[in-house]
Amino acid sequence: MLIATSVWILPYLILVVGLVQAVSRLRSPVGKLPGPKYTALTSLILKYKEFTHERRLYIHKLHQRYGPVVRLAPNEVSFATVDAIREIYMSGGSGYDKTPFYSLFTQFKTRTLFSTLPRGDHSYMKRYLADRYANTNILKPEILDGILDHARDFLNRCMQACSSAQGYADIYLFHPYGTHANKVEKDYRLMKELSYHDSLKSNLALYYMPWATDIIHYLNPPKPAPLSNEYVLKTSENPSPSPFSLLSKLQAQAKATNMPQYGVPAECKDHLAAGVDTTGDALCFLMHQLSLPDHESQRIQATLHKELAGNPTTSFDQLPYLDAVVKEGLRCFPPIPMSFPRFVPQGGSAIEGYFIPGGTIVSCQPYTIHKDPNVFPRPLEFQPERWLDKEDAQALVERHRWFFAFGVGGRGCLGKHLAIAEMKILLRQVYSQCRTTISSKMDSDMEMEDQIIASRPKGQCCKLVFEKLP
């Protein structure tokens, strides 16, 4: 009799506990924020959107409906203002600590600069790496000559493909320093290994269900990466790396400190993967945009050609229209368009006039920041001229304040100067000599498809025709 009574009572107890938890969440500071009511009760909808490659657009639509502050889950909030960016990512120099989400980006089971969570640890690591990516180092002839060499290889391969019977070739827009994927077969296979994969679902499953790691790996085995692993392990043992390189600094630091066993190759692989997933995709989106058949795209391309062809000796970083085209490309197609999650510090913080309890996950996503119509009028249009607006100086200053393509603060993208140099040098090499158009054989989807943190062309293929200009 007692057992029967307990069986009947149990569902009621579960119901009562659920109701108490629901009321508690609705009455919490986060529960009172703008957003759909269900987001105050569960994070399941957000997780579903992540697993179906829809998180970025889902959050963007919520901001369009509810405004610059949106509750995403009982313990997660998204912001879309420059003041929120400054608080979350710049307060104290480096902003708030990263969440365990970034543990997905460890290499060889070792934390890297990008995957380090506490900002204090990150600041320590950054001190001995930052000068490798400083603009003064990137502008050294040895670096620029290497980038220009790759840009020439790229254009030569494109021109050869356009004149061949086949009419196309598999060409990569990003190359790790020291590799030549458009000329050397082994380097080509290395880039292909790093590029053509979809790890979103398995990575998210590991993040949300770490207790099921063995099951997840059994059902969806991790994609092996023997070529890239071999490359970074072998390269990291180079006894005489170039003095200006990242590797020389890492090796010196490894000798001077108690760096983990795989600290050097882990950092090298992290930087290798970061370039593949960002710079190459950004260039792909941008060149496709410039090649569209509409009149405006052709006008932009012609204006760019005029500046580049007319200033052959001017430094790539002194060409205003090229700079505007790159900025607008990064605004429309940011290399990492999705949220940068952070933990609110213990004791809580005030963000956009709301008190956010400590431990809450907060973030901003570049995709939404760059689409604010009050800052970027007609935000869906590709308009390089918006970065050359001399008539409204204040509006131009405001656009630069809202530019979020590389993050901000002490944990912003370390390689932004290198990425911009690579983009500008390649675009100059191409559009000072050629005109590009969309191939009639192009049938791949160029919509942005979300991965674990970056986005890429959904069809993973962009077919362009390169026409030599007189």
Binding region for heme: 413
Distance CA 402, CA 376 (A): 9
48 φ/ψ angles, rounded to the nearest 5 degrees = -60, -45
Q: Which residues contact 3 (CB under 8 A, 6 or more apart)?
A: none
Element (H, E) at 464: strand 464-468
Crossing angle of helices 263-290 and 185-195, in 10° steps, is 80
State the virtual CA torsion across 138, 143, 146, 152 in degrees, nearest 10: 40
Place of tokens 């119901």: 15
Sequence-distant (6+) residues with CB within 8 A of 122 are 94, 98, 113, 116, 410, 411
Residue with tokens 């493909």: 161
Strand partners, 438: 464
Residue 98's nearest CA partner among 349, 354, 338, 363 is 363
CA 100/CA 359 separation, integer angstroms: 12
Calculate helix-pair angle for 226-235, 185-195, nearest 10 degrees: 120
Distance (Å, rounded) from C-alpha 335 to C-alpha 270? 16
| Neighbouring residues of 100: CB distance < 8 A, sequence distance ≥ 6 | 117, 207
Alpha helices per DSSP H over 28-116? 44-51, 55-66, 82-90
Pairing of strands 361-364, 76-79: parallel
Q: List phi, psi (to 5°) of 349.
A: -145, 155
**In the numeric block, which tokens belong to residue 376?**
């970027």
Residue ranges for the binding site? 413
C-alpha distances out from residue 343 to 28, 84, 363, 366, Å: 17, 13, 9, 18
Of all helices (H) and strands (E), which one includes residue 428?
helix 416-431
